[in-house]
Chains A and B, each alone.
Chain A
């Protein structure tokens, strides 16, 4: 028996003397395959899991609290730190929610650039998912290949906004910058490379016996279970439910774009793998369609709404009243109307929702961030029992959870 005192606290994972011959193991919070700070308390009968209890909160930074004490523009860079694998999707979701609250629409060119960045982020996120998931399961080379392509995509992000991970590339009311020269050319080059490389990854994995043995019939999520747990994104679509907000409740430019929603009715990890791979192809299809849209668009980047959004630099430097308005917007912040909005967008992980309750002051009265990974982690307590210990890593990696948005 352990001698417990304050300096040597009680560790559950070394109590072997349980009556029913089960063993309790702490998986994480410092586990390389936990994809962040997940502590999973597993009860094992031999190698089989009989009970799983995800314990989250190790990365809790109180973002909702921070949001309630920041002006709207100030909070935008914080949203980067939610799903930091695809930061722009968070920026966009937040910006869209605030735009809906203040009744502003971004100009077309801004919307085209945003959609480009969103889809590029989806690719970055899915490549990251593929790389880490394959590494967890044991396919080391896929990790190296996928990270190489992700690096090219991140170079594109860097060319646009200067940041690689936390972009803040979207502003409330538009985007701050136009695309640099050569960006479109580099993007097209990247699409060609990725199209070739995706076949390489699939050649390594699709019919790979080990890959299939580790993924097929592992982590089965029935459609009913997915609905019960509020699953969204690829995890839902791999359960055979064709639901993608970009198609079903479209926003931004998505009604004009032609793309498919890949689904799979396998309901297992392999089905989710297929969905992710197909989604990268769809994102490239969207990116290709956006290039002519960009060329045809007008050059305005930020919406004109002096009450809420700062004027252009030129106006600011030439007109006194514009400068005063900008000063008030920066120091006091915009004051949106009283009301509440819930705006959901399809982030790479699923439905990313922002609920904003405004009381008319420059600070949101209540800000609720609906992050898809939160329930993708919660469902672990229902899927894991019955699986082998080795499958835990597969299932966690496969569900594509990111702790920045679970703990917020």
Chain B
């Protein structure tokens, strides 16, 4: 029976995984191990509902409801001195959980601690913007929308950031194809010259290293060279054996280009100049 491959995750997968392989997990410590984090967490849990919290690789990880993201981050920023938002983005779990996990990476300069606030947003749901709290979220949330299609409410300028404004699809989704698709192939032709020019120009060649076996205008087959532009689709390829001049193969004007090495005639320098 053929193995079932899910259509909603078309990213590269390992070609072999041992059937009995169980991946180890990076150790999760309880929050009580760190007094700073413990007080941060108890303070935060008075304000919002904390679904889960642990310390992993020195980071406090807090799971909250998506409705609470602004109030939780506001509390962490203003009361708990996490004055820097370092990064925010989404993780695509549509295939397994039907939505995205949004993470906010925060830093406290006074405490020298980092924490990560995470919340889950269903696929067609929206999340509130944290831009009023951290101006940097302006660009991060635009990037998140651009890459994942997560809609952000109350954002001052919700437009794509990295991809062109009229781009279809969101590149970092697990459903996004890894090679240029049909639409991408015609994108620039349609955009600049219009659909009616498709026949004249042809699709964009996405693979720059692609070699067309029958294109004698741009390529020559070693050992089967023909004049430029000759039609060889009918298999009409003469053999042109490869001969090297060193082996006395190619002769120009009656003599070989490379003269054989003459030990007596050759001058040798005593020192390098």
Contact = CB atoms under 8 A, between A and B. Distances in A.
B89 interface: yes
A65 B146 CA distance: 13
The B contact surface, by secondary structure, is: loop
Interface residues of A, number: 52
B17 A361 contact: yes
Interface string B157-188: 00011111000000110001010000000000
A366 B86 contact: no
Contacts of B11: 68-69, 363
Interface of B: 11-17, 21, 23-26, 28, 56-57, 59, 61, 83-87, 89, 91-92, 103, 105, 109, 112, 114, 116, 134-136, 138-139, 147, 160-164, 171-172, 176, 178, 192-194
Interface of A: 6-7, 56-57, 60, 62, 64-65, 68-70, 100-101, 103, 225, 227-230, 241, 243, 248-249, 332-333, 335, 337-342, 344, 351, 353, 355, 357-363, 365-366, 368, 370, 374-375, 378, 382, 407
Q: Which 8 A-B pairs have the closest CB atoms?
A: A360-B23, A339-B26, A230-B136, A57-B162, A228-B135, A69-B12, A378-B139, A337-B24
Contacts of A249: 112
B193 A7 contact: yes
A55 to B, nearest CB: 9
Contact of B87 (A358, A368, A407): A368
Contacts of A6: 192-194
Given A57-B164, A378-B136, A353 B13 contact: no
B13 A361 contact: yes
A338 B86 contact: no
Contacts of B92: 366
Given A228-B135, A249-B112, A370 B14 contact: no
Given A6-B193, A335-B23, A342 B134 contact: no
Contacts of A333: 14
A362 B109 CA distance: 34
B81 to A, nearest CB: 12
A332 B16 CA distance: 7
15 contacts: A6-B194, A7-B192, A60-B163, A65-B171, A65-B176, A335-B23, A337-B23, A342-B114, A357-B91, A361-B13, A362-B14, A363-B11, A368-B87, A370-B86, A370-B105
A375 B136 contact: yes
Contacts of B89: 355, 366, 368
A62 B173 CA distance: 12
A366 B114 CA distance: 19
Contacts of B163: 57, 60
